[in-house]
């Protein structure tokens, strides 16, 4: 079985992210499963960047700790990552930046000194392409197919022939350097080309973008903020072709209000931001609630409060999103665990937002949003579009009540600008016609009507997934992006004959209270795994089921969970 | 009367003699003159006394958040480019809470109209200073006199690249109606700041005050195609106060600059979303 982790580290500003992605795609196209992880500080030049690609011939769900092939572009990369190297690992050292004499690495690590800058300069006189040389060298060490790498580089720089040519040349120099200078390669990992289609290499953001297109997104407003920037770049570029309008608003307040306006007008609309931007959006979040305007909000979590750790990950906004904005109103909160779920839950969010005429939040985070995972092509023909109780043009000719009291709480929705009966959306409390009204009875009835929509939806949400046997010695619970590392931890524990099951939550509101209560009933060894400091989801479970989960594995340093940490915790608790 | 089709049955709660009445009448008159029906217009309202108009006008309406009418209106316009979209804002609403949106909406230049009910005081919260209150103005929040220079809506609009900038007076409904018609006809972002006395709380800037001071720019030979003279005129505020069109320019609207909104394309709201093909999008991720 092949399970290899490749890592490249160096100074920010040298295109490490592009080279990492090129390498990951080359491995994907060689027929492997991929999970990657990039880490970068919140600055443009000078900081330490890394890109890690895990490659396997079996399904994988997250990063793991040991690094088997490290490309060190500078001394820092060695100092920071040498302890991550596994027995038998290979280390490609940039001899133009690192003094070989000073390298102190443990026994069992094989050193491959390569003059990356000297080789890069042979191509076009600049050192910027040293990353590409390193990718070529890596492919050679792994006995990979250079043709595959060539094709990936060609596609990556499509339309920029000169750059494409230079990069292929640089990669070839690195590839040949290894082939020509190391007769016997002491490195047991290899990536022979396999004949299987591994689909796409997607981040959570990519999957959300594809889901949104499929769902009929027509208007997207998004103020730049890590970690959702790749979403706005996608729609800024593809918008004209896909007939989707992307606007960069002056701030997040404007963005969400624009999206509410577009949705009121009848277009499926979305905003994306992180916790800080969502803080600015909260008043309008409530506006969508009281005016019953559908809206999809992507909230890519990162450590806070305020600016926090801008380029790192967290799951610290669950309580915030569940309670944001004053008073009660229906809100849908979904937390996908991987790109596949990002795609399907995005489509679901657009449907639910329109059916229940309410805002729907999708909680992701930096790691889910920006890490690539190999995903089979989506069977998108299975997707259904449901726009809920929308009036036809003819129905709108007759008098109707926009905020009519109904049994399930859902009122008829028209499109402004159509001939017929005019209506109004009102942020003031209003009567059934939408006219401002402060009578106690009207207020009471409207509050109850709105909240009834949540009761209606609560009866229809799917059960959460359980991974592993129904009955197991140990139970793990996680929500959103903790999914991958927990699945990997289960695999690791299984090899040690430790049987676990794992409850993964994706519907955070409405919450599958009864199911969770039934599932947890009588279970003694339960561990909650989440990326915040107060076990927010464990608190939510207690609130909704009365069940207290005593054991928590919490992480709030901005770094993702590693499966090793989770497996370790299980053993520490119960072995 | 035909104008009544733009009126609802709701009880009007503005104070007797409120400057908002003039705006209400002029707007309906303008719709009539433009040949619009109630369903041809979406009005987006801010929060303040002006916002109550959502209950009195029979058009499509959205009572938005305080200061956020403009973003909401821009979203609606982008979603349905065939809709006539008007923002009804107040001075505190637009220049206090919504100042940033104003600047950016102006430079973005969508084909919408922003009408500011400018009474230089906070009415609905019963008498605090507003961004357009005159320096030294005594209110509940400035008992020793407002210390700040007021915002100048006209020069701010010009500096923010609004393509139609005008000032009206709700004491002159005929003139105001003409400004509304011209502003609504203008292709681009039109701002009409309306001097609209608050008869209950502002005892300085009264109807009488304005009747004595206002004069019409077009009658004074002002060239509204000249931005420099528009700026010069915008600073005139004292014994004489100019009303009318300060500035107008033709430049491409945002809708024309986005290929997906070109005239031959359907409005976003009219596009089929039931059968969207995405397989071809998978390629770039392989």
Alpha carbon distance B130, B202 (integer Å):
11
The reply to whether B234 falls in a domain is yes
Domain of A469: which CATH number?
3.40.50.920
pLDDT band at A105 (very low <50, low <70, confident <90, very high): confident
CB pairs under 8 A between A and B: 194
Cβ pair A292, A358 in contact under 8 A: yes
Both A173 and A238 in one domain: the answer is no
Over residues B188-208, mean pLDDT? 97
> What pLDDT is attached to residue A126?
86
> What pLDDT is attached to residue B27?
98
The reply to whether B192 falls in a domain is yes
The reply to whether B200 falls in a domain is yes
Domain range for A409: 389-460
pLDDT band at A42 (very low <50, low <70, confident <90, very high): confident
Window from A9-23, A362-376, A529-543, B267-281 with minimum mean pLDDT: A9-23
> What pLDDT is attached to residue B1?
85
pLDDT digits (tens, 9 = 90+) for A128-157: 899 999 999 999 999 999 999 999 999 999
In this predicted model, which residue has the larger pLDDT, A183 or A571?
A571
Residue A456 Cα, gap to closest chain B Cα (Å): 25
SS3 A111: strand
pLDDT band at A124 (very low <50, low <70, confident <90, very high): confident
Residue A482 Cα, gap to closest chain B Cα (Å): 24
End-of-domain residue from the set A382, A415, A437: A382
pLDDT band at A493 (very low <50, low <70, confident <90, very high): very high
End-of-domain residue from the set A352, A382, A412: A382
Over residues A73-78, mean pLDDT? 94
pLDDT over 90 at A103, yes or no: no
Indicate if ipTM > 0.90: yes
Domain of A281: which CATH number?
3.40.50.970
Chain A residues in contact with B64 (beta carbon < 8 A): 257, 287, 427
End-of-domain residue from the set A348, A382, A416: A382
Both A67 and A182 in one domain: the answer is yes
Q: Classify strands A500-505 and A245-247 as parallel, antiparallel or unpaired.
A: unpaired
The reply to whether B243 falls in a domain is yes
CB contact under 8 A, B285 and A206: yes
pLDDT band at B154 (very low <50, low <70, confident <90, very high): very high
pLDDT over 80 at B234, yes or no: yes
> What pLDDT is attached to residue A100?
83
Put simply, whether A339 touches B (Cβ < 8 Å) is no
> What pLDDT is attached to residue A179?
95
Both A259 and A339 in one domain: the answer is yes
> What pLDDT is attached to residue A186?
81
Both A231 and A274 in one domain: the answer is yes
Both A356 and A410 in one domain: the answer is no
The reply to whether B113 falls in a domain is yes
Chain B residues in contact with A215 (beta carbon < 8 A): 273
CB contact under 8 A, B78 and A28: no
Window from A43-47, A103-107, A325-329, B257-261 with minimum mean pLDDT: A43-47
Alpha carbon distance A257, B3 (integer Å):
31
Alpha carbon distance A375, A353 (integer Å):
26
pLDDT digits (tens, 9 = 90+) for A446-467: 999 999 999 999 999 999 999 9
Give the count of domains, chain B: 1
Residues of A numbered 213-272 whose beta carbons fall under 8 angstroms of chain B's beta carbons: which are they? 213-216, 218-219, 221, 238-240, 242-245, 247, 249-251, 253-255, 257-269
pLDDT over 80 at A193, yes or no: yes
The reply to whether B275 falls in a domain is no
pLDDT digits (tens, 9 = 90+) for A177-191: 999 999 888 899 999
> What pLDDT is attached to residue A72?
96
Over residues A171-175, mean pLDDT? 97
> What pLDDT is attached to residue A248?
98
Alpha carbon distance A427, A234 (integer Å):
33
> What pLDDT is attached to residue B143?
97
The reply to whether B276 falls in a domain is no
pLDDT band at A243 (very low <50, low <70, confident <90, very high): very high
Task: Say how many C-beta atoms besides its own lie within 10 A of residue B147's C-beta.
Answer: 10
Both A104 and A160 in one domain: the answer is yes
pLDDT digits (tens, 9 = 90+) for B16-63: 999 999 999 999 999 999 999 999 999 999 999 999 999 999 999 999
Domain of B71: which CATH number?
3.40.50.970
> What pLDDT is attached to residue B151?
98
Over residues A478-505, mean pLDDT? 97
Both A49 and A117 in one domain: the answer is yes
The reply to whether B280 falls in a domain is no
pLDDT over 80 at A46, yes or no: no
pLDDT band at A45 (very low <50, low <70, confident <90, very high): confident
Both A447 and A369 in one domain: the answer is no
Chain B residues in contact with A291 (beta carbon < 8 A): 62
Over residues A476-484, mean pLDDT? 97
CB contact under 8 A, A436 and B63: yes
Both A45 and A156 in one domain: the answer is yes
pLDDT digits (tens, 9 = 90+) for B248-274: 999 999 999 999 999 999 999 999 999
pLDDT band at A41 (very low <50, low <70, confident <90, very high): confident
Mean per-residue pLDDT over chain A, rounded: 96
SS (H, E, C) chain B: CHHHHHECCCCCCCCCCCCHHHHHHHHHHHHHHHCCCHHHEEEEECCCHHHHHHHCECCEEEECCCCCHHHHHHHHHHHCCCCEEEEEEEHHHHHHHCHHHHHHHHHHCCCCEEEEEECCCECCCCCECCCCCCCCCCCCCCCCCCCCCCCCHHHHHHHCCCCEEEEEECCCHHHHHHHHHHHHHCCCCEEEEEECCCCCCCCCCCHHHHHHHEEECCCCCCCCCCHHHHHHHHCCCCCCEEEEEEEECCCCCHHHHCHHHCCCCCCHHHCCCCCCCCHHHHHHHC
Residues of A numbered 405-444 whose beta carbons fall under 8 angstroms of chain B's beta carbons: which are they? 415-420, 422-428, 434-436
Both A98 and A166 in one domain: the answer is yes
**A14-20 long-range Cβ contacts below 8 angstroms, 24+ apart:** A14/A49, A14/A73, A14/A128, A14/A130, A14/A131, A15/A128, A15/A131, A16/A49, A16/A50, A16/A51, A16/A73, A16/A131, A17/A49, A17/A51, A18/A131, A18/A156, A19/A51, A19/A131, A19/A132, A19/A134, A19/A135, A20/A51, A20/A52, A20/A53
pLDDT band at B72 (very low <50, low <70, confident <90, very high): very high
CB contact under 8 A, B76 and A216: no
Domain range for B11: 2-253
CB contact under 8 A, A257 and B58: no
Both A179 and A296 in one domain: the answer is no
Both A125 and A265 in one domain: the answer is no
Give the count of domains, chain A: 4
pLDDT over 90 at B179, yes or no: yes
pLDDT over 80 at A575, yes or no: no
CB contact under 8 A, B65 and A287: yes
Domain of A176: which CATH number?
3.40.920.10
Q: Classify strands B241-248 and B214-216 as parallel, antiparallel or unpaired.
A: parallel
> What pLDDT is attached to residue A507?
98
Put simply, whether B40 touches A (Cβ < 8 Å) is yes
pLDDT digits (tens, 9 = 90+) for B93-145: 999 999 999 999 999 999 999 999 999 999 999 999 999 999 999 999 999 99
């Amino acid at each position: 079985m092949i399970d290899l982790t490749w890592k490249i580290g160096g100074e920010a500003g040298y295109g490490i992210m592009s080279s990492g992605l090129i390498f990951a795609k080359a491995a994907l196209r060689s027929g492997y499963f991929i999970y990657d992880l990039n880490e970068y500080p919140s600055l443009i030049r000078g900081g330490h960047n890394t890109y890690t690609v895990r490659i396997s011939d079996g399904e994988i769900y997250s990063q793991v700790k040991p690094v088997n092939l490290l490309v060190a572009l500078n001394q820092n990369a060695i100092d920071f990552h040498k302890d991550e190297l596994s027995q038998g690992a290979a280390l490609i050292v940039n001899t133009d930046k690192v003094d070989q004499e000073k390298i102190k690495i443990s026994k069992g690590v094989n050193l491959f000194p390569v003059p990356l800058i000297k080789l890069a300069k042979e191509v076009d006189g600049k050192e910027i392409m040293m990353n590409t040389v390193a990718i070529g060298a890596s492919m050679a060490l792994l006995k990979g197919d250079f043709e595959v790498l060539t094709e990936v580089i060609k596609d990556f720089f499509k339309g920029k022939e000169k750059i494409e040519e230079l990069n292929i040349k640089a990669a070839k120099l690195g590839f040949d350097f290894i082939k020509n200078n190391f007769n016997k390669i002491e490195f047991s990992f290899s990536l022979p080309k396999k004949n299987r289609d591994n689909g796409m290499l997607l981040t959570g953001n990519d999957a959300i973008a594809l889901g949104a297109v499929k769902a009929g997104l027509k208007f997207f407003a998004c103020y730049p903020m890590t970690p959702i920037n790749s979403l706005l770049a996608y729609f800024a570029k593809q918008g004209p072709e896909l007939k989707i309008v992307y606007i960069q608003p002056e701030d997040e307040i404007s963005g969400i209000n624009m999206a509410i306006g577009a949705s009121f007008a009848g277009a499926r609309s979305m905003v994306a931001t992180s916790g800080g931007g969502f803080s600015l959006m909260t008043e309008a979040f409530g506006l969508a609630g009281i005016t019953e305007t559908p809206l999809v909000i992507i909230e890519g979590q990162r450590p806070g409060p305020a600016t926090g750790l801008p380029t790192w990950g967290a799951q610290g906004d669950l309580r915030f999103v569940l309670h944001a904005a004053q008073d009660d109103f229906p809100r849908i909160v979904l937390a996908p665990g991987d790109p596949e779920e990002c795609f399907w839950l995005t489509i679901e969010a657009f449907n639910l937002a329109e059916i229940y005429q309410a805002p729907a939040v999708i909680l992701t985070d930096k790691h889910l949003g920006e890490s690539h995972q190999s995903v089979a092509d989506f069977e998108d023909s299975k997707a259904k579009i449901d726009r809920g109780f929308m009036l036809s043009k003819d129905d709108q000719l007759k008098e109707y009540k926009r905020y009519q009291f109904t049994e399930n709480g859902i009122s008829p929705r028209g499109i402004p600008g159509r001939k017929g009966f005019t209506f109004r959306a009102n942020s003031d409390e209003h009567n059934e016609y939408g006219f401002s009204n402060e009578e106690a009875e009207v207020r009471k009835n409207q509050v109850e009507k709105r909240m009834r929509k949540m009761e209606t939806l609560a009866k229809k949400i799917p059960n959460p997934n359980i991974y592993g046997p129904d009955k197991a010695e140990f139970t793990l619970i996680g929500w959103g992006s903790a999914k991958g590392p927990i699945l990997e931890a289960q695999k690791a524990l299984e090899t040690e004959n430790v049987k676990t099951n794992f409850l993964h939550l994706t519907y955070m509101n409405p919450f599958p209270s009864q199911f969770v209560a039934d599932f947890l009933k009588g279970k003694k060894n339960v561990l909650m795994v989440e990326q915040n400091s107060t076990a927010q989801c464990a608190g939510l479970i207690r609130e909704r089921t009365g069940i207290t989960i005593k054991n928590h594995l919490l992480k709030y340093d901005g770094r993702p969970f590693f499966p090793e940490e989770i497996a370790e915790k299980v053993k520490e608790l119960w072995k | 009367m035909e104008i009544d089709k733009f009126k609802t049955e709701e009880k009007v709660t503005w104070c007797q003699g409120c400057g908002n009445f003039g705006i209400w009448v002029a707007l309906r008159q303008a719709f009539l003159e433009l040949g619009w029906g109630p369903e041809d217009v979406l009005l987006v309202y801010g929060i303040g006394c002006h916002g109550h108009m959502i209950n009195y006008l029979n058009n499509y309406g959205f009572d938005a958040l305080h200061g956020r009418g403009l973003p909401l209106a821009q979203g609606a316009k982008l979603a349905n480019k065939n809709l006539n979209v008007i923002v009804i804002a107040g001075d505190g609403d637009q220049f206090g809470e919504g100042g940033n949106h104003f600047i950016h909406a102006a430079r973005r230049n969508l084909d919408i109209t922003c009408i500011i009910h400018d009474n230089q005081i906070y009415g609905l919260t019963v008498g605090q200073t507003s961004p357009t209150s005159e320096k030294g103005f005594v209110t509940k929040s400035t008992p020793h006199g407002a210390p700040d220079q007021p915002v100048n809506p006209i020069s701010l609009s010009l500096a923010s690249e609004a393509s139609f900038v005008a000032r009206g007076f709700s004491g002159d409904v005929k003139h105001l109606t003409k400004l509304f018609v011209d502003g609504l006809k203008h292709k681009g972002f039109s701002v009409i700041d309306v001097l609209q006395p608050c008869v209950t709380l502002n005892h300085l800037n009264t109807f009488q005050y304005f009747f004595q001071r206002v004069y019409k720019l077009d009658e004074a030979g002002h060239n509204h195609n000249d931005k420099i003279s528009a700026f010069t005129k915008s600073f005139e505020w004292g014994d004489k106060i100019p009303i009318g069109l300060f500035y107008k320019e033709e430049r491409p609207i945002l809708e024309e600059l986005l290929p997906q909104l070109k005239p031959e394309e359907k409005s976003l709201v009219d596009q089929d979303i039931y059968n969207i093909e995405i397989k071809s999008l998978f390629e770039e991720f392989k």
